[in-house]
Amino acid sequence: MKGFKFLLAGVIFGITMVKSEAVSWYRIQEMFRFQSFHMYGIIGTAVTLGIISVYMIKRFKIKDVLGSEIMIPNKDNQWTKYILGGLIFGLGWALTGACPGPMFVNIGYGYLTMIIVVAGALAGTYLYGLLKSKLPH
Amino acid sequence: MSGMAIALIMITLLYFGKSFGFSSNLRTLCTLTGAGKKVKFFDFDWKTQKWNLLFLLGSVLGGIVASTLLKSEQPLQLSAATVRDLKTLGIRFDGQLEPEQLFGIHALSVKNIMLMLVGGLLVGFGSRYAGGCTSGHAISGLSNLQVPSLLAVVGFFIGGLVMTHFLFPLIF
């Protein structure tokens, strides 16, 4: 079972998202209204630890399980797509209270109507693929 | 605690030679439905993303575990100010994770379905346009000190603020 570890990582992710309440529409509203430190605490901790670990990985040239050095590809240096794409994403994030991960976690939790949100997200992804060449990047 | 767990998941995936980014799965799912025949963007070997699909499946299972074995009976502790603001918009705080009024199966209305579809569409379109979502940019990207990810996260926030403060009063 080579894929089992990824399945397990997903299970831990799902449980973490529910337990931290990061899957909650209410918490996302609270965040965008700056009325609690809750979400900022979670993201802030993750990023702080992430920065330290990625720095260590690079500094000590830590190798992955296959023995090759861990390489994290840099993002390309365009501006438009990050800002415009980010903006569109943010509109949807606040409306549904769910980014792509939490949508699926919510379905598992029992909020079956989130299937509609996922259907919308798939349609949106498809639409992007269709229009990609016509969009400014 | 949760932030630590998220960072740990990212590092674990890096250790296994992968990078944490959930929204790529949406593209893979499009490919699986045969979108690659019509649109070049979806024409890639989905098997390279099998690990990520397993991660997705795991996250659904994690949701199931959290609602059964690890279910908490504690109501959500939302800040009083948010409860008040939502009340002004006509949205009642019910102590659950999601407002029953919007996502409840018995509250399904044309309006709610439209909100979910359009919201999902924006998330799907935006995350692919920006090349990542909260996990890919806010967590993985910022951890790697990527300026583009910072731009995307600023975009996420501007979009979220516009929706919350300007569009919500028009929608609700």
Question: Could you report the average pLDDT of every consecutive run of 10 residues in chain B (172 residues)?
Answer: 94 93 96 94 96 97 97 94 98 96 95 98 98 94 95 97 98 94
Q: Do A75 and B131 touch (CB under 8 A)?
A: yes
Which of B24, B125, B150 would best serve as a mutation to test chain A binding (most A beta carbons within 10 A)?
B125
Residues of chain A with Cβ-Cβ distance to B104 below 8 Å are 113
Q: How many CB pairs under 8 A join A and B?
A: 476
Among partner residues A27, A28, A41, which is closest to B3 by beta-carbon distance?
A: A41
Between CA B4 and CA A118 the distance in angstroms is 27
Q: Could you read off the pLDDT of A108-136 as tens digits, one per residue?
A: 999 999 999 999 999 999 999 999 999 99
pLDDT tens-digit series, residues A14-55: 999 999 999 999 999 999 999 999 999 999 999 999 999 999
Separation of alpha carbons B116 and B118, rounded Å: 6
